[in-house]
């Protein structure tokens, strides 16, 4: 029965691999958007850009809000 299952399941192997790859990508995205160190780093980048005059205060506020929203959704 194991050989038959293997033979019939072989065509699905690429699909299973693709599903696993998508799961791994989703896990990495979750880590990057919810990791406090990564969020802090992104917030610091926004603040540095604002302080350097690269973005306006409104743009900085919008970017900060987006970063924080990503954390909770």
Give me the number of domains the chain comprises: 1
Q: Does residue 14 lie in a domain region?
A: no
Indicate the pLDDT class of residue 9, thresholds 50, 70 and 90: confident
- Residues 5-22: what's their mean pLDDT? 87
Verdict on whether the full-model pTM lies above 0.85? no
Q: Does residue 3 lie in a domain region?
A: no
Q: Does residue 49 lie in a domain region?
A: yes
State the residue range of the domain holding 29. Answer: 23-73
pLDDT tens figures, 30-50: 888 888 898 999 999 999 999
Helix (H, G, I), strand (E, B) or coil at 27: helix
Instruction: Output the CA–CA distances (angstroms, integers) from residue 42 to 14, 20, 36, 47, 68, in the order listed.
Output: 36, 28, 10, 9, 10
Q: Where are the beta strands (DSSP E) in the chain?
A: none
């Amino acid at each position: 029965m194991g050989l038959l299952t293997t033979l019939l399941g072989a065509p699905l192997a690429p699909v299973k691999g693709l599903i696993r790859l998508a799961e791994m990508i989703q896990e990495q995205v979750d880590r990057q958007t919810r990791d406090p160190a990564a969020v802090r780093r992104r917030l610091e980048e926004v603040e540095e850009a604002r302080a350097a005059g690269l973005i306006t205060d409104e743009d900085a506020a919008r970017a900060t809000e987006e970063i924080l929203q990503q954390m909770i959704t």
